[in-house]
Structure formats: C-alpha cells, structure tokens
A = this chain, B = another copy of it.
C-alpha cells in the first residue's frame, strides 16, 4: 500500500497535536512502527519531516521525543507572531476571502464557549489567527505560522487550565473582527498587538507556574 508517507506524517502530526503523545514522550522507532503498521524506515522519514517542523525533537542516537516547548520557545513563538500577524491584518482588505474564515472561527469559538468545550475553543482561536495569516496570501508565512501554531499547541497541552487559556480570547476575537470590518486593518492590528501581549503573558504565567511551582 504505497504512498502512505504523506498520510503517515499527517496522521502522526494530528496525533501529537491532539495530545495522544504527551510532550516529552519518547517515540520508540520499533514500537511506534509496529503500532502504526509501517516499517522503521518509513517512520524515520516521517520523523525527519516532523523534526524539521519543530513538532518533534531528534537527538542523535537517543531517538525522537515529542517536543516540549521551553519558556524561550514560547517567547520566540510570540515574537514571530508579532512580526507577522499584525502586519498581515493591517494591510488586508475586508473583501479578502479569509475574512469569511475569520468570521467562522469567531462563531465556532462562541458556540464552543457556550458548551464549555475549551478544547474546541482553543482550536477555534487558532483557526482565527490562521485566517489572519491567510490574509497575507503568502504560502511561506502560512507555513511558518502552521509550524509555530503546532508548537504552541504543545505548550497548551502541558497547561491543564484550558478555560483560563482560551476562554477570554473569544470575545477579543469578536471585537477584533468587528473593528477590522468597521474601522479597517490598522485599527484592528493595534488591537491584535495588545491581544498578543496578553496572550503571551497568560501562557507564560501558567507556564512558569507549571515549571517551577
């Protein structure tokens, strides 16, 4: 059954992001290959891709483990986000197709908030920011964001207070969308700057509490 490759990489990606393997977990080639029903060589090719994407850490002769973002990683991720997201939003047109994605993400977030499904709230928030990056129409920036968003999800996984982590931002997303539509990109970008500062502080706070407390 050839061409399992891409599917395998994506399947592994999703499993890791979904938290099936906790951050830091060692991924044994032999047992995982057996579990997934593929050969070691095929699995290793997938590992290389995931390693390049930052989802998995590869240490020579010690195998790969699910990435476990450090505080420095979180700081860097937010730094990169501040470079890309506000600029993309600021320069965007309200007629851009991705605006529909932004709206859908906001509505999904509000619906999931109602049901107290924090996990889905988090996904919706991510989808919102993914849509913002999509406004830039740049495959390379989208790829960057896809990778750092995946890493960020790993950080989220280690924080077991998803409500505090995701719930407050649904309203901010709604507000940002309305600002964008009513007052244009630059005004919304200003909001986004504050949003990212707040989000970073929230994550870092929970994170340091987790690590040394």
Contacts and interface: CB of A to CB of B under 8 A. Distances in A.
Contact of A144 (B41, B48, B87, B140): B140
A76 B144 CA distance: 13
A213 interface: no
Contacts of A37: none
Interface string A49-92: 10011100000110000000000000011011001100110000
A140 B48 contact: no
A86 to B, nearest CB: 10
A21 to B, nearest CB: 20
A60 B141 contact: no
A18 B86 CA distance: 36
Interface string A134-171: 00111111001001100000000000000000000000
Contact of A140 (B6, B76, B140): B76
A44 interface: yes
A20 interface: no
A45 interface: yes
B76 A83 contact: no
A135 to B, nearest CB: 12
9 contacts: A45-B45, A48-B48, A52-B52, A76-B138, A79-B138, A80-B141, A87-B87, A140-B144, A140-B148
